[in-house]
Amino acid sequence: MNTTYVLDIPLQRVKTQTIAKYQIQQVIVHLFRGCTIYLGLFDSDSKPVEDIMLNMEQADYDRWNSDDNYIVSWINAQLESRCQIN
């Protein structure tokens, strides 16, 4: 049986990839509104997976101040909530 059938609605197939690390590529500050952070996401072999952007609100930007540990923790939390499959 070699019949091809057409779907009523095309379906998207999602490819699951593991993200092991990221690189902050650019931070654009929006005065009194926060910032946009551009990230490169990589797998464990350092192969690019995807480029994304995160928007940080002013309150979080104020907490960042000069503590780079804060931004790393904030990005980690954003990625975990955005990418984690439950």
Distance of alpha carbon 45 from alpha carbon 30, whole angstroms: 34
User: To the nearest whole number, what is the mean pLDDT of the chain?
Assistant: 90
Residue range 32-56: mean pLDDT, rounded: 95
Confidence of residue 1 (pLDDT cuts 50, 70, 90): low
What's the Cα-to-Cα distance from 84 to each of 12, 54, 59, 73, 76, rounded to whole Å?
19, 16, 24, 16, 11
pTM: 0.78
Q: Is the dihedral of CA 40, 30, 74, 78 positive or negative?
A: negative
Higher pLDDT, 55 or 3: 55
Distance of alpha carbon 46 from alpha carbon 53, whole angstroms: 19
User: Has residue 86 got a pLDDT over 60?
Assistant: no
Q: Which residues pair with 35 in a beta bridge?
A: 29, 56
